[in-house]
Amino acid sequence: MSTATFVLAATSSEVLNVIAAFAGGLFIAGALVFAVVFGMRVRDRELPRPRPEDQPHLPLTGPIHEIREMREPDEVPVPADKRERLMPYQLHASGTRRGKDQVRKRWLPGSSGSFGSGGIGHT
38 within domain boundaries: yes
Greater confidence (54 vs 68) lies with 54
pTM (2 d.p.): 0.37
71 within domain boundaries: no
> Does residue 48 register a pLDDT over 70?
yes
111 within domain boundaries: no
Number of domains in the chain: 1
65 within domain boundaries: no
Burial classification of residue 102, based on how many CB atoms lie within 10 Å of its CB (0-12 exposed, 13-18 middle, 19 or more buried)? exposed
Q: What is the pLDDT of residues 94-122, one digit of tens each?
A: 667 788 888 877 776 666 555 555 555 55
90 within domain boundaries: no
Residue 106: per-residue pLDDT: 73
Q: How far apart are CA 113 and CA 107, in angstroms?
A: 9
Structural domain of 5: 1-48
Q: What is the pLDDT of residues 10-46, one digit of tens each?
A: 677 888 889 999 999 999 999 999 999 999 999 999 9
101 within domain boundaries: no
Q: What is the pLDDT of residues 66-82, one digit of tens each?
A: 888 888 777 776 777 77
114 within domain boundaries: no
- CA dihedral 56→59→63→68, nearest 10 degrees, is -100
Q: Where is 15: in which H helix or E strand?
A: helix 3-45
